[in-house]
Structure 1
Amino acid sequence: MLKGLYNWAMAKAAHPHAFAWLVAFAFAEATFFPLPADVLLIPMILAVRRRAWILAAACTAASVAGGCVGWAIGFFAFEEIGRPLLELYGAMDKMAVVKTEYEKYDELFVAIGALTPVPYKVVTVSSGFFQMDPFAFTAVSLIGRGVRFFAVAGAVYLLGPMAEKLVRRNLKLAFAIFLAFFVAGIVLIGWVL
């Protein structure tokens, strides 16, 4: 399974429309799609390292734009779209707790969601539902997503071909590290909440 996902990501990274795939992936991941944009960002940087910063910027912009759509879904269409989406990710049963904590932490909640591999779409829809100021949401998302994607781009850029060899040889380890960050993000949100 992991090898199949890796091969798929590498094929998309080499595709003539790879940039469009990345932008679409980053946008969709912030609204409804389960896989993080890093799945395409990393192999695309490995393919053409000099484009690392452009790719990170595009990923950031598309993710924030998708986040704004997620915010709008939570604000304007929660019952029709937001609730089913949050139910899909198992977040609806904790909305009362999330609301209380959201009111306390507001921007920090968005920052944690923007920086970690937890499902950002849950944060975006919740932000709209809890009527977070859209300008504050956008600003925190821009900073958080920017830090995340530029950090990934910087690490892959610095490691270069060594990163590809490490990932290819240690696919299970790379997945385990990603999973560890994912779990750490969930634990961090659980700790804050």
Structure 2
Amino acid sequence: MAFMQSWIQKLWRISDTNGAQRVLAIVSFTESIFFPIPPDVMLMPMCLGNRAKAFRYALTCLVFSLLGGVVGYFVGYYFMELIGQPIVRFYGFEEQVHQISLWYDKYNAWAVAVAGLTPIPYKVCTLTAGMFHIDFAVFVIASTLARGFRFFCVAGLLYLFGEKVRYFIERRFNLVVTALMVMVVLGFVAVKFIK
């Protein structure tokens, strides 16, 4: 928890710097493969800081999240034993891999879409989609729709209600950071206790 809170606070601070969009791209890319913090942590304050660029930031999240997702898919497809399994073990998801395979057998694109929309770590989706050889086109389409909906909803809400949201966040910074951290943890817990 302390590790993730530290990262969330660092990313929040970076979101107000000149290189923030590059860092947002890196976070979006790596979160799709191994990084534990979702790009929303940076997307929110960046949209608040420059509402005119909110949709540009959402597009950055989408494009780089998808690129990372493709890399994650191919890591799972070709290098699951060498690279993917250590990532799965690091997060403690070994027992869930079998359950996720059943989801893919039953729901295919819907399983990808759920992972793209919810706090369930997207990296779990990308690695296992490759591991279980989910149709690549289905994976890309479902990921694009789900991740796009998620990032553009966040950007749209902040674009429309920015000042009200900004005031709330500035007054309740610790609460917002805690809520973001709880969302990340809940995503990991949701996958950990899938039976």
Query: Common fold, TM-score beyond 0.5?
Result: yes
Cα distance in structure 1, aligned partners of 2:31 and 2:51: 23
Query: How big is the shift at 1:76?
Result: 0.6
**How far, CA to CA, are the matches of 2:184 and 2:135 in structure 1?**
28
| Equivalent pair of 1:56/1:149 in contact (CA under 8 Å) | yes
Equivalent of 1:107 in 106, 109, 115? 109
| 2:186 alignment partner in structure 1 | 183
Q: Which residue of 1 aligns with 2:58?
A: 56
Match of 1:22 in 2: 24
1:156 pairs with 2:158: yes
**Amino acid in the other structure paired with 1:183:** L
* Contact 1:118-1:182 at 8 Å conserved across structures: no
Residue range with higher mean Cα deviation, 38-47 or 179-188: 179-188
Q: Residues 185, 155 of structure 1: CA spacing in aligned structure 2 closer, same or farther, 3 A cutoff?
A: farther
- Report how far residue 116 of structure 1 moved: 0.8
Identity %: 32
CA RMSD of aligned residues (A): 2.5
One-letter identity of the residue aligned with 2:186: V
C-alpha separation in 2, matches of 1:21 and 1:116: 22
Report the alpha carbon displacement of residue 167 of structure 1 after superposing the two structures with TM: 1.6
The answer on whether the counterparts of 2:32 and 2:65 sit within 8 Å (CA) in structure 1 is yes
> Offset at 1:97?
2.2
CA contact (8 A) 1:29 1:120 kept: yes
Out of 143, 146, 155, which is 1:144 matched to?
146
Change (3 A) 1:176 1:12: closer
**Distance in 1, Cα, partners of 2:158 & 2:58:** 11
Once the two structures are superposed, residues 154-181 of structure 1 have per-residue CA deviations (whole angstroms, 9 ceiling, x without a partner) of 1111221221221222234334544358
Quick one: which amino acid aligns to residue 42 of structure 2?
L
CA distance in 1, matches of 2:173, 2:95: 34
8 A Cα contact 1:112 1:189, kept in partner: no
How far apart, in 1, do the equivalents of 2:37 and 2:108 lie? 25
Gap change, CA 1:111 and 1:152, over 3 Å in 2: same
Task: Kindly state the Cα deviation for residue 59 of structure 1 after the two structures are TM-superposed.
Answer: 0.7
How many residue pairs get aligned? The number is: 192
Partner secondary structure for residue 33 of structure 2: coil
Q: Is the 8 A contact 1:74 1:124 kept in 2?
A: yes
Alignment check: 8 A CA contact 2:5 2:177 kept: no
- Partner Cα distance (1:122, 1:181) in 2: 13
Cα pair 1:116 1:181 within 8 Å, conserved: no
Distance 1:91 1:190 in 2: 9
- Deviation at residue 188 of structure 1 after TM alignment: 9.1
Give the counterpart letter for 2:77 in structure 1.
F
Structure 1 residue 104, shift from structure 2 partner: 0.5
**Unpaired runs of at least 5, structure 2:** none
Q: Which moved more, 1:176-185 or 1:14-23?
A: 176-185
Q: 2:100 aligns with which of 98, 101, 104?
A: 98
